[in-house]
Amino acid sequence: MLRSSPAGLAAKYEHVEKTLAEAVDMARAQQDSDKLKFKIVLPIVRASYGMLELACALYPGPTADLVPQLQLPGEQDFIIVCLAPEDRRKDVMTPPMESLLNLTEPKKMEKIVSELPETDHRFVETIFFATGVAMNAAKALHDRAMTTYSSWDGKPR
């Protein structure tokens, strides 16, 4: 498994980081503070060897109860973050990959999930409290980031 800090990933994939930051900015520009319950900081996507890795940090606030789950000992390996409507929180908690499949191509994500070693599922987390605007932004950033790569092999097109 790749071991790389979020900063390291950002240095390697600066162009992808910029794309994701633009999508997050789009969501923030349209946010209603009473409805948008999460903020994403430094989102980086790296597609490599059939895995989607997304490292993220959260501002304290409505999602503070989820932050400890993301503060893993040592370097962060990979955290797959999915955004789901707040009213589906309980639905998407089991299994944790369910709502991620809703935002991506199911066949590709099924392959990714099947390739994750069982012991690494503790690195797979879900982040909730997203509005429709944030869902659209998440889907857009995924689609735009993936156009940078071919066949999930991590090689720039």
Per-residue model confidence as pLDDT tens digits over 81-134: 333 333 333 333 333 333 333 434 445 444 544 554 443 332 333 332 222 333
| Confidence (pLDDT) at 22 | 53
Q: Please state, for a pLDDT cut of 90, what percent of the chain lies above it.
A: 0
Alpha carbon distances (Å) from 20 to 17, 27, 41, 131: 5, 11, 10, 17
Structure tokens at 109: 């994500």
Check pLDDT > 50 for residue 154.
no
Helix (H, G, I), strand (E, B) or coil at 52: strand
Higher pLDDT residue, 56 or 106? 106
Domain ranges within the chain, ordered by starting residue:
6-146
Query: How confident is the model over 142-150, as a mean pLDDT?
Result: 44
Alpha carbons 41 and 144: distance in angstroms, whole number? 18
Q: What are phi and psi of 96, to 5 degrees?
A: -65, -20
* Per-residue confidence band for 76, with pLDDT thresholds at 50, 70 and 90: very low
| Confidence (pLDDT) at 25 | 56
| Confidence (pLDDT) at 51 | 25
Per-residue model confidence as pLDDT tens digits over 24-45: 555 455 544 433 333 332 232 2
Most confidently predicted of 15-19, 48-52, 85-89, 99-103: 15-19
The predicted model scores a pTM of 0.22
Q: Name the average pLDDT for the chain.
A: 38
